Amino acid sequence: MHRRTQTRINRDKLHSVSGTVISFCVNMSHVLGYVKEIDRSLLGNMVDFEQYDVGDLIGWQGIEKQYENQLRGTKGLAFLQVDAFGREVGTVKDINDIKPIPGKNVFTTIDLSLQKTLEKAMSSYKGIALVTDPATGQILAFVSSPDFSPGIFTGNTTLRQWREIVSDPTKPLLNRITNGLYPPGSTLKMITAIALLEGLTIEQNEEF
């Protein structure tokens, strides 16, 4: 008897693969987001459910969610021989396994040094800090404070951990940059002043 087994790309477990250790000096939880395991209730509400199985991981916030299609890769197939009790007894010699294809790489414009500085400066405050390059529009630093440790959602998240983070009055899961609503404040004055000067409706030293 033959049995077909899917092989997966477990992107949350890549840290266990031998190789060069990269030290992360920044958190970037609201930038990177996190992945979540798909259960049956979630799978039933997904539009492209045929691409996933129960137990697969899916990007749930941040870059992980936005670029899910590029990051998830393609599953492979392993063909195994099993006995009458469903126990594996060997591989199928006349059928070649299909190797999984890793997902693509995603590159950001975040300046790690600047990101680290802003995360440290905002660590005791509740608010946002966003730095962009006005010439290109590239985002150089992106901080929503307070934030959370992405490692909480990698692997098995305990009920206690989940309750603590969702009941936190400071709302660390809230991305205040993309989901918060704030009055523009004095930053809007530059926009209105430039518009008036370009329209030649006022003089440079005129007060209004």
Is residue 186 among the annotated active site residues?
yes
Catalytic residue among 23, 41, 124, 186: 186
Residue 83 one-letter amino acid? D
Residues annotated as part of the active site: 186
